Amino acid sequence: MSGSIRLSFEASPNALQLAGATTTQFATNAGLAIDDAERVQRAVQIFVAFSVHHSYKDVTGGEIELSLDLTPNGVEVAVHDWGRPWRRGGGSFGPLPSELAEAAELDPDAQLDNLADEGKLLTLRIPCTHDANAELATAPTKPARTPKQLDHHSEDEVEIRLATPDDADAICGLLYDNYGLDYVHAEFYRPVIIAIGIERGILASTVAYAGDELVGHIALFGSGPMSTMGSGEAPEMAAALIAEDWRGLWLYNRLHDFAVENARSIGVSAVFGQSTTAHVVSQRLGVGSGYQCTAVMIGGAPPTMAKGQIKRGAQVSARGGLAYAVLPLAVSPVLTATLPEQYATVLQRIADDAGYAIVAPDGAEPAGVEDAPIYWKQAGSEFVYVSGPHDLRAVEREFWAEDARRAETLYVDLDLAFDCSAAIEMLRERGFYLSGLIPAGRNGRDWLRMQRPQAAADIEGIRLLPEARWLLDAVLADRASVT
Architecture of domain 4-127: 2-Layer Sandwich (3.30)
Confidence of residue 311 (pLDDT cuts 50, 70, 90): very low
Cβ contact 436:418 at 8 Å: no
Beta bridge partners of 433: 451
179 pLDDT band, cuts 50/70/90, is: confident
At 421 the pLDDT is: 94
3-state secondary structure of 216: strand
Confirm if 439 and 454 have CB atoms less than 8 A apart.
Answer: no
| Cβ–Cβ under 8 Å, residues 336 and 275 | no
pLDDT at 356: 95
Kindly report which listed range (131-135, 190-194, 448-452) carries the lowest average pLDDT score.
Answer: 131-135
**Which run of H or E residues covers position 471?**
helix 469-481
**Structural domain spans, the chain:** 4-127, 331-483
CB-count exposure of residue 144 (10 Å: 0-12, 13-18, 19+)? exposed
Integer Cα distance of 42 and 32 in angstroms: 14
| Per-residue pLDDT reduced to its tens digit, 26-64 | 999 888 999 999 999 999 999 999 999 988 888 887 889
Environment class of 342 (CB within 10 Å of its CB; exposed 0-12, middle 13-18, buried 19+): middle
Which ranges of 64-131 does DSSP label H, i.e. alpha helix?
Answer: 101-106
**Tens digits of per-residue pLDDT, 206-225?**
999 999 999 999 999 877 77
Is the pLDDT at 464 greater than 60? The verdict is yes
Q: Using CB atoms within 10 A of its CB, is residue 214 exposed (0-12), middle (13-18) or buried (19+)?
A: buried
Output the CA–CA distances (angstroms, integers) from residue 2 to 34, 90, 129, 332, in the order listed: 20, 26, 12, 69
> Could you report the per-residue pLDDT of 65-101, keeping only the tens digit for each?
999 988 888 999 999 998 888 888 887 778 898 889 9
Angstrom distance (rounded) from CA 148 to CA 332: 45
